[in-house]
Amino acid sequence: MTQTVEIPLWLFMLIVGFAAVTFASHFLFPSVRWFFRRRLERAVARLNQRLERPIEPFKLARRHDMIQRLIHDPQVAQAAADHAAAAGIPENVAYEQVRRYAREIVPGFSAFAYFGLAIRAARLLSNAVYRVRLGHQDEAALRAIDPNATVVFVMNHRSNMDYVLVTYLAAERTALSYAVGEWARVWPLSRLIRAMGAYFIRRRSRNNLYRKVLAAYVRLATRGGSTQAMFPEGGLSLDGAIAAPKLGLLKYIVEGYDPQGRDVVFVPVALNYDRVLEDKILTSAAKDGDRRFRARIGLVALRLLRLLWLWMTRRYHRSGYAGVNFGRPLSLAAFGSGREGDMTKLLGRELMARISAIVPVLPVPLIAAILQQHGSLSRAAVEHRLAELIAAMPLAQVHMPRENLGYAVDAGLRQLVRRGLICGGNGQFKPVAERRDLLAFYANSIRHLMPQDGARPGGGDDFSAPAKGNAASAGS
């Protein structure tokens, strides 16, 4: 027992290394994790005191624990067994597929990443790119939402800036958990997005087992009170108009709703922009008839570097206004009262109607609609038409910069000329023929709010027909 044993130095170092790792994993790491966990819990408790809707325990659960909970969900287990029988594979192989789907879907929320990094970055980016305006919101109705209810923000999808903008504007209310598509599954972006509480979905997946796992996660999140944000349209609008809702996630929420448990309250959110950063990509995809487009990460980086260069050389101009409106909340308990059967389709229509009614009406979409309809106009004529059009939409949420019609005309024309969508000469402004698709893209964002006679390109001059809307408002 006391004999001397000689071993190579490399083997001795390897043994010491294994011993150190074993000691750390069994004694040191748990203590360190407990120490930081306690500090994190105290920090979250302080944060929850200032949030309108505190961060729910479901969102703070460890990712590993949530994955295990999802894997062992009874409905998921049954789906795995059915899949194994149908595909003729062992059940353990089906369970491995379930595990892979669960790891792909489940986020790993970090309060520090969300409130320490994401909120600040969202505020900086939003105000660097746009003049952000928060317009209509029924503050009393929002504050009256049951504190125990699960809140789901439902939004129209104009740009990938939607995520950034709503995260920034909802920062004082709560932490949002987004449903994001395949575009975000790019390293290192995916790690950051997952840490912000977003969960990934395969929008075009026809795999029934995957859908069962996703449905189970949405059900657990809804019953756990997790505040969510989703885009019922399913993807970015290619033509600028609000599209019909895709019912996938809504159906999962409705099916997972327990009338004896938490209520689910949907908050409509409408966004609009004087410039959509991806407008050329979207209109090109509309021409090709193919939604499968992706902006390469290198291209995005080059555009950001170009914007930085313009800022450094003092030639940078913000991309006009970005408007956000919050609409009247809808309680699923109240909506489903007295209804039988699947109400998902009716719910989708009602939510899209509420979103459509409060779309912000900004200078560029207004002037784009006027010039698309009337062609070449002088500045004075544009201002006259603008006044008529606004008067004919008394219920629309019109943002009037500086409460000055003339300034709104100048701001809108300046943006359109700078982008090359219209040209000015001899005191006249007219659409550029090669860019009419882009002009229509912006006009379409408010087309549903315009009077019927004015909605047709080249239609009559009468703007007196009633407009669809929710409440009169002028932005600040």
Burial of 196 (0-12, 13-18, 19+ CB in 10 A): buried
What are the tens digits of pLDDT across the range 315-324?
Answer: 888 999 999 9
Is the pLDDT confidence value at 343 over 90?
Answer: yes
Is the pLDDT confidence value at 463 over 50?
Answer: no
Per-residue pLDDT at 459: 37
What residue spans define the domains of the chain? 108-358, 361-474
The mean pLDDT of 188-197, rounded to a whole number, is: 73
Is the pLDDT confidence value at 332 over 60?
Answer: yes
Furthest C-alpha separation in the chain: 105
Question: Could you give the angle at which helices 74-87 and 91-105 cross, rounded to 10 degrees?
Answer: 130
Is the pLDDT confidence value at 5 over 90?
Answer: no
The mean pLDDT of 442-460, rounded to a whole number, is: 70
In angstroms, the Cα distances linking 466 to 338, 361, 385, 454 are 32, 16, 17, 11
Q: Which of 83-87, 276-280, 458-462 has the lowest mean pLDDT?
A: 458-462
Per-residue pLDDT at 420: 94
Q: Give this prediction's pTM.
A: 0.83
What are the tens digits of pLDDT across the range 362-389?
Answer: 999 999 999 999 999 999 999 999 999 9
What are the tens digits of pLDDT across the range 9-55?
Answer: 787 788 788 777 676 655 555 555 555 556 666 766 777 777 888 88
Q: Which residues contact 306 (CB under 8 A, 6 or more apart)?
A: none
Q: How confident is the model at residue 350 (pLDDT cuts 50, 70, 90)?
A: very high
Q: Are 202 and 252 a contacting pair, CB within 8 Å?
A: no
What are the tens digits of pLDDT across the range 142-154?
Answer: 889 999 999 999 9
Q: How confident is the model at residue 173 (pLDDT cuts 50, 70, 90)?
A: confident
The CATH number of the domain covering residues in 108-358? 3.40.1130.10
Is the pLDDT confidence value at 272 over 80?
Answer: yes
Distance CA 213, CA 67 (A): 10
User: Mean pLDDT for the chain?
Assistant: 85
Per-residue pLDDT at 470: 36
- Tokens at 468, concatenated: 């669809």
Which amino acid would we find at residue 227? T
Q: How confident is the model at residue 179 (pLDDT cuts 50, 70, 90)?
A: confident
Is the pLDDT confidence value at 458 over 60?
Answer: no
CATH number (3.30.420.40, 3.40.50.720, 3.55.50.30, 1.10.10.10) of 361-474 reads 1.10.10.10
Distance CA 457, CA 226 (A): 44
Query: Residues of the chain with pLDDT > 70: what percent?
Result: 85
